[in-house]
Structure 1
Amino acid sequence: MPTVELRFSALPEHVRTARLVAAAVARRAGVDEAVLDEVRLAVGEACLRAVGLHQHNGLSGPVRVVLTEEEKKFSIEVGDDAPTAPGHVPAARSTAETHPDPDGDGNASGPGGDDADVDDEMGLAVISGLVDDVEVTASESGGTIRMSWPAATAAPGS
């Protein structure tokens, strides 16, 4: 059963709130203080990815964040509604939306080119580097990034 569930409009300005709530719930769950920055960063990347997917696909539904406090584990799921062919992880945003034209040649990524899949893979790589236990799933009805961290058996102050 979720400890906290957030739903927010797919706008980048709401990602900060999701990061703050995730860090607060993680602290309450007993996640080590030294790991809280990683929780914030990973949630931020996952939420930005979901926001990008919604905007790129013209979706109006909310981004979903479910935070679950278990006995020895704290989990976060970030869900989107972006349809995906089975076995393919969708690109979240186009390079033109996320990268200015650095060298003025009309190519948003600079020399050599880039595409939305590369940008999306970077975000997923950041998450994978921050979280030992991460799972990314995608389907025709949307995708989910599940992340978890070890937590104390009894949260401080409970």
Structure 2
Amino acid sequence: MATVELLFSALPEHVRTARLVAAAVARRAGVDEAVLDEVRLAVGEACTRAVGLHAGHGVTTPVRVVLIEDEKKFSIEVGDDAPHPSAADAAAGTGEAPGAPEEGEDDMGLAVISGLVDDVEVTADESGGLIRMSWPTIPAPVLP
């Protein structure tokens, strides 16, 4: 199992680099060429969301992107350190930082990711959030 970890400051100009690295590692891992655009777009959406959350909440830690190559799948984890309000806080109208992304914008990014990736999991709490995405890989042909 090979793993690549990227840490980048929460600036929009770094999202492109994360997309390019993710596509290159996915290609090397054996993700089908026809799916690489979806990988790039999904990583771009997840990283843009993390950058927006960091900026909106004044978080200065880097955004984390982990690329994991397993035998049968390629996974990407995009993590942020922005506080995510609990369902109770959201219902009460508390827990939002000034300048935080609008809920509709956040939901739109997650909807785009869900439309691009069949295997996606989103978790979040007061210490940050994580989006896990994975794609099947094509086994390398066995040479005689």
Indicate the SS of the match to 1:3.
strand
Structure 1 segments unaligned to the other structure (5+ residues): 95-115
1:2-17 correspondence runs (5 A): 3-17=3-17
User: Is 1:21 aligned to 2:21, yes or no?
Assistant: yes
Structure 2-normalised TM-score? 0.86
| 2:53 corresponding residue in structure 1 | 53
Report the CA distance between 1:139 and its aligned residue: 1.0
Structure 2 segments unaligned to the other structure (5+ residues): 91-95
Distance 2:81 2:71 in 1: 30
Distance 2:135 2:117 in 1: 7
AA in 1 matched with 2:115: G
Structure 1-normalised TM-score? 0.79
User: Is 1:85 aligned to 2:114, yes or no?
Assistant: no
1:77-116 correspondence runs (5 A): 77-87=77-87, 93-94=100-101, 116=102
AA in 1 matched with 2:138: A
Q: Which has the higher helix share?
A: 2
Report the CA distance between 1:84 and its aligned residue: 1.8
AA in 2 matched with 1:142: G
AA in 1 matched with 2:83: P
CA contact (8 A) 1:71 1:154 kept: no
CA contact (8 A) 1:93 1:119 kept: no
Deviations 1:27-48 (A, max 9, x none): 0000000000000000000000
CA contact (8 A) 1:26 1:36 kept: yes
Distance 2:66 2:15 in 1: 14
Report the CA distance between 1:85 and its aligned residue: 3.1
Deviations 1:64-99 (A, max 9, x none): 0000000000000000001123457x89953xxxxx
Over the aligned positions, Cα root-mean-square deviation in angstroms equals 2.0
Report the CA distance between 1:2 and its aligned residue: 5.3
Deviations 1:78-135 (A, max 9, x none): 00001123457x89953xxxxxxxxxxxxxxxxxxxxx11111110000000000000
State the identity as a percent: 77
